Amino acid sequence: MHAIEIILKRTVSGVELKAARHISRMPMAPSQDGKSIAVLVSARNEEHAIRKVWRRLEDSLPIDVLCTVFPGPDGMLRMSIPFAPGVKRRIRAWARATGKSTEKFLGSAIREALARDRSTESARQECALNFMLHNCVWVGSSSNITDRIAVSRLPLPAEQLIRRISASGTRVTFTDDTGPIASLISESQLAGLDAPITVAECDCRKAEGPPYTPHDEAVQEESAHGAPHGDDEQCGTV
């Protein structure tokens, strides 16, 4: 038996799923969001299992991609992506031009694309975080209250980060070698604030003090209800 994941082009209804089960005669279960279906297939190997799914379900479900759920004997996962007419021919030509087999050419192309995506996403989130920390009003500073920035005006990655932290009910403290520089608290603690909008407000950077060496450039999480509220650590809000 082989477990195959069907990535769908759209969510399917219960009627469509029931019909697909009846036609394929294969056990299947949809994901919670309805965007994929796991299927158990009786076949000699992964390749035969994938072909069997295409043959039985191609006309019944809006299949986008098939992927094995578990690695095969060689430790590899296998994906099956339908190509438009002529695409296979062009890929083979590109592979020949590089002196590689089609499989190795595609493998290299996928690894390079994933590396670019990871690098781009990392840079995007770093930029968003820097924007957030450098555009907040510092508590106790000479900045005017109007300099505060609404969460909804932050770059999307930073807004999503803040809202995810806020929903989790935890406090996140950003630190550098001088100590805590910014703090985000849970949404539930905004109830007592007079501000008309949800704002991103940062803690005041410690002007003087001993180096904070244990966790330089670290992000520490503390309980929203158990964090200390001393004179030298004001609480920022989100």
pLDDT digits (tens, 9 = 90+) for 58-89: 888 998 999 998 888 888 888 888 877 788 88
What are the CA-CA distances from residue 56 to residues 24, 28, 79, 231 (Å)?
A: 5, 13, 17, 68
Q: Are residues 51 and 75 in the same domain?
A: yes
* Residues 140-162, mean pLDDT to the nearest whole number: 48
pLDDT classification of 133: cutoffs 50, 70, 90: low
Q: What is the pTM of this model?
A: 0.45
Whether 100 and 156 map to the same domain: the answer is no
* 181 lies in the same domain as 212: yes
Does 117 share its domain with 168? no
Phi and psi for 33 in degrees, rounded to 5? -85, -5
Q: Which of 4-18, 64-78, 101-115, 213-227 has the lowest mean pLDDT?
A: 213-227
Tell me, what's the pLDDT at 54?
92
Helix or strand run (H / E) with residue 92: helix 87-98
C-alpha dihedral over 76, 82, 86, 87, to 10 degrees? -40
* Structural domain range at position 212: 136-223
**Partners of 171 in the β-ladder:** 222
With respect to residue 140, please indicate whether it lies within any of the assigned structural domains: yes
Nearest-angstrom CA–CA distance, 215 and 224: 20
Residues 74 and 100 in one domain: no
66 phi, psi to nearest 5 deg: -110, 145
